[in-house]
Amino acid sequence: MNKVALPDTCRMLTLTAETAEDLMTANPVSLQDSATVREAIAFLIDKGIGGAPVIDEAGRPVGVLSQHDIVVHDRETVHYSSPVHDHVPPGSALDRHLQDDFQIEDVDRSEVRDLMTPVIFSVGLNTSAQKVIEEMIALKVHRLFVVDNNGVLVGVITALDVLRHLQF
């Protein structure tokens, strides 16, 4: 077992942000609710993120899509078709080989709106930083979205954003 020596006095942490606007990352990347699952997977991988807000055509957040949502959807919906071999005699060696060694995946045409979590936890730009942290803890979420007075998504606050604003 490793032991860690602690200092005799603990230093206080100070949050340097006052409002949600101070904490947030502005202009977060987002997914359109009409994007396909394949497009969403590529988007999350390319951006190196584990989840993203889902917006409608007006830019209003309507849900959240996470890697977890995709895994659950995939587990529940992936189906495989039998190989089409019209010109292969049934029961032949080639027919058995095709059945044993190949699978053809049906392309999932589901849209993000079909598998997203249709709940948005959001705060306003002027919400106090303390209230933001209290909300994240109470809701047990890793991110809160920031919306303007018209309900349009303008930012995201993650647990990492909060940590960035802590100083000794």
Can you give the residue ranges of every domain in the chain?
15-82+89-167
What is the average pLDDT score of the chain? 85
Using alpha carbons, list the distances in angstroms from residue 34 to 78, 80, 126.
Answer: 20, 24, 31
**Mode of pairing for the β-strands spanning 143-147 and 153-158:** antiparallel
The model carries a pTM of 0.70
Architecture of domain 15-82+89-167: Roll (3.10)
Q: Which residues contact 115 (CB under 8 A, 6 or more apart)?
A: 37, 65, 69, 70, 72, 73
Split at pLDDT 50, 70, 90, the class of 61 is confident
| pLDDT tens digits, one per residue of 87-106 | 667 777 776 766 666 655 66
The distance in angstroms from the start CA to the end CA of the chain is: 28
Pick the more confident residue, 45 or 91. 45
